[in-house]
C-alpha cells in the first residue's frame, strides 16, 4: 500500500510526503486531540481516492476508532477547509534518463550497474538516430562494420539485462529545480533523484515549399528507414557532411542513381576523407555543385526538385522520385530551454562531468554542446553522466542525513588532504569540540573530491581549510582562518 505523510499547520495542509513503502499515512502537527490516517489504494495515480479517518480521544489511548469513508476526486489532493496544499513526492527512481539513443542506453547500463533504480523514458524504440544508420564502420571493435539497428539493439538488451526499466512515453514537461525531479509524460508523472537529458537531436529542415506536404511521400531524412522504397528509382541527397555522403552510398544499393546537391565548390565536401573518396569513385553517385534546393515538386508524391545555382542564379528542374535531406541537426531542448543553460545554437552546456547548471541534472549525447557528435562520443557522455549522477545521489543523501537534517548545530570542516599544514589546523576543531561536549556535531569534508558541496557552497580549494556552522540546515557562520579565538565565535 502506498502512503502519504502529511503535516498540518494553522493555515492548513503545509507539506505532504509520498512514501511508497508506508502502509498508511500518519498525520502530525494536527490540532490537539486529532489525528488522521490517509490510506491510498493501489491505484495511487488515479483521481479516485479513499480516505480513512480515525478520530481518537485526547486522553484515551485505547478508545475505539470511529471510521468514516470519504471519496475525494481531484488531480492532486483536495481536502475541505484546507487553504494551502504543498506536496513533496518521494522518488520513484534514483535515476531517470530522457532518451533511448546510445547516450541514454550507456547511461542506463552504468546507472543500473551501480545499483541505482534506473529507467529510460523513450517515446519509440530505443536507438535514437543511430538506429537509422545503415552502416557503422568506425565504432571500436567492429572492424568489418555493423549496422545502427544491430548495435543499438545490443545496447538496449545489455541495459535491460542489468535491470534498466524502459518506459514508453512522451515527455511533456519537467520540473528540475527541487531535490526530487518531476518528469511529466502523456501517460504519467515520474520522480527521480537525478536526471540525465539524452534527447538527442533531430534533422534540420530545408524549409522550402513542398517539403512539409511531401514528407513521407518521397521526402525523407533516413536512408536506412526508406531506401528500399526507392529500388530502381532516382533520388537526390541534399548535404555534404558525413551523414549525407555515407547515406548516399547506402542508397546506391537500391536506387538507380543518387544525385548529391552540394552548396560548396566542386570537389569540396564536409565529410571525412575516406567516405568522400569512396563516394567520388561510385558510378551511381552524381554531383551538382554550388547549388541549393529551391522547391520540392509533386502533387501526391515527389516528382522533381528545383535546383538553384548560388553563383549564377540559374534554376533548373531535376526529375527524381525521392529527396533525402542531411543538412545538420537541431537539438531537442525545447523542454529545458528556459531551465538549463544553452549555447546560441540551442545545445545544452555542460562541464566535463556532464553536469548542467542545475544540481542533479546532466546532459549527454548529441543534445549537449560538444566538438564531435558520433555514437562513440555519445556512449562516453552517457557513461560519464551516470557515474557523476551516482556520486551526486550518494553525496546528497549523506549530506542531508549528517548536516541538513541534524538536530544539533553542525561544525563542517572543509579540507584538502594534500595540504599538511592546513590539515593540522583542523586538529584544533577536534580539541574545541572535546572542550565543549554535546553542543555540536562534527563533519569533515574533503572539498577536493566532494563536488556537490564544493559547488553548492562555492568552496574553492584556495580557501581551504575552511569552517562553516550549520544550524537547522543553514549556514550561520563561516571561519576562514582557524584559530582558538575564531572557534570561540561559534559559541556566540
In tens, the pLDDT along 380-394 reads 999 999 999 999 999
Quickly state the pLDDT bin for 90 (edges 50, 70, 90).
low
Collapsed DSSP state (helix, strand, coil) of residue 456: helix
pTM of model > 0.75: no
Question: What is the set of domains in the chain, with CATH numbers?
Answer: 3-89 (no CATH), 93-202+331-395 (3.50.50.60), 219-327 (3.50.50.60), 407-491 (3.40.30.10)
In tens, the pLDDT along 126-167 reads 998 888 777 777 889 987 878 889 999 999 999 999 999 999
Strand partners for 414: 445, 466
Kind and range of the H or E run holding 97 = strand 93-98
Distance CA 237, CA 17 (A): 55
Strand partners for 410: 441, 470
Q: How far apart are the first and last CA of the chain?
A: 48
In tens, the pLDDT along 98-130 reads 999 999 999 999 999 999 999 999 999 899 888
Residue positions annotated with a catalytic role: 222, 225-226
Distance CA 375, CA 373 (A): 7
Distance CA 163, CA 94 (A): 13
Whole-number pLDDT of residue 145: 79
Residues 6+ apart with CB under 8 A from 193: 91, 93, 94, 95, 179, 180, 181, 360, 393, 396
Distance CA 251, CA 210 (A): 22
Task: Find the range with the poorest average confidence among 220-224, 244-248, 263-267, 353-357.
Answer: 220-224
Nearest to 181 by CA among 259, 92, 248, 101: 92
What does the mean pLDDT of the chain come to?
84
Determine how β-strand 93-98 pairs with β-strand 189-197: parallel
Cell of 458: 562555492
Sheet holding 315-319, edge to edge: 291-297, 304-309, 315-319
Yes or no: say if 273 and 246 are a contact pair by the CB < 8 Å rule. no
- Tell me: pLDDT of 363 over 90: yes
Amino acid at each position: 500500500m502506498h502512503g502519504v505523510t502529511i503535516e498540518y499547520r494553522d493555515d492548513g495542509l503545509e507539506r505532504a510526503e509520498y512514501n511508497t513503502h508506508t502502509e498508511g499515512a500518519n498525520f502530525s502537527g494536527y490540532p490537539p486531540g486529532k489525528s488522521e490516517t490517509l490510506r491510498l489504494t493501489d491505484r495511487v495515480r488515479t483521481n479516485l481516492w479513499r480516505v480513512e479517518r480515525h478520530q481518537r480521544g485526547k486522553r484515551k489511548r485505547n478508545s475505539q476508532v470511529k471510521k468514516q469513508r470519504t471519496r475525494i476526486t481531484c488531480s492532486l489532493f483536495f481536502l475541505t477547509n484546507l487553504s494551502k496544499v504543498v506536496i513533496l513526492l518521494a522518488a520513484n527512481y534514483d535515476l531517470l534518463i530522457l532518451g533511448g539513443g546510445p547516450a541514454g542506453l550507456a547511461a542506463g547500463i552504468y546507472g543500473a550497474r551501480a545499483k541505482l533504480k534506473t529507467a529510460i523514458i523513450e517515446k519509440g524504440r530505443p536507438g535514437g538516430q543511430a538506429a537509422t544508420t545503415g552502416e557503422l564502420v568506425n565504432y571500436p571493435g567492429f572492424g568489418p562494420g555493423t549496422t545502427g539497428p544491430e548495435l543499438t539493439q545490443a545496447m538496449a538488451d545489455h541495459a535491460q539485462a542489468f535491470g534498466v526499466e524502459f518506459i514508453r512515453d512522451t515527455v511533456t514537461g519537467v520540473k528540475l529545480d527541487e531535490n526530487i525531479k518531476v518528469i511529466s509524460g502523456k501517460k504519467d508523472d515520474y520522480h527521480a533523484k537525478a536526471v540525465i537529458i539524452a534527447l538527442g537531436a533531430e534533422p534540420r529542415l530545408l524549409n522550402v515549399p513542398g517539403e512539409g506536404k511531401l514528407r513521407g511521400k518521397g521526402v525523407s531524412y533516413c536512408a536506412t528507414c526508406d531506401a528500399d522504397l526507392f529500388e530502381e528509382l532516382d533520388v537526390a541527397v541534399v548535404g555534404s557532411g558525413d551523414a549525407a555522403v555515407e547515406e548516399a552510398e547506402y542508397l546506391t544499393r537500391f536506387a538507380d542513381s543518387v544525385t548529391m546537391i552540394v552548396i560548396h565548390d566542386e570537389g569540396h565536401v564536409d565529410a571525412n576523407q575516406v567516405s568522400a573518396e569512396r563516394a567520388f569513385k561510385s558510378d551511381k553517385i552524381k554531383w551538382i555543385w554550388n547549388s541549393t534546393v529551391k522547391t520540392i515538386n509533386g502533387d501526391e508524391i515527389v516528382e522533381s526538385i528545383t535546383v538553384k545555382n548560388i553563383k549564377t542564379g540559374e534554376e533548373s528542374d531535376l526529375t527524381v522520385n525521392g529527396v533525402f535531406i542531411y543538412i545538420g541537426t537541431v537539438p531537442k531542448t525545447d523542454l529545458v530551454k528556459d531551465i538549463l543553460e544553452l549555447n546560441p545554437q540551442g545545445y545544452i552546456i555542460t562541464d566535463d562531468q556532464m553536469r548542467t547548471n542545475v544540481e542533479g541534472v546532466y546532459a549527454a549525447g548529441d543534445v549537449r554542446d560538444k566538438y564531435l557528435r558520433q555514437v562513440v562520443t555519445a556512449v562516453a557522455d552517457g557513461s560519464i553522466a551516470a557515474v557523476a549522477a551516482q556520486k551526486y545521489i550518494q553525496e546528497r543523501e549523506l549530506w542531508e542525513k549528517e548536516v541538513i537534517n541534524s538536530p544539533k548545530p553542525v561544525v563542517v570542516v572543509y579540507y584538502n588532504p594534500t595540504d599538511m599544514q592546513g590539515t593540522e589546523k583542523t586538529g584544533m576543531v577536534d580539541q574545541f569540540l572535546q572542550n565543549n561536549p554535546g553542543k555540536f556535531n562534527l563533519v569533515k569534508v574533503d572539498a577536493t573530491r566532494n563536488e556537490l558541496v564544493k559547488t553548492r557552497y562555492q568552496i574553492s580549494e584556495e580557501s581551504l581549510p575552511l569552517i562553516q556552522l550549520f544550524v537547522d540546515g543553514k549556514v550561520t557562520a563561516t571561519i576562514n582562518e582557524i584559530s582558538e579565538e575564531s572557534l570561540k565565535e561559534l559559541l556566540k
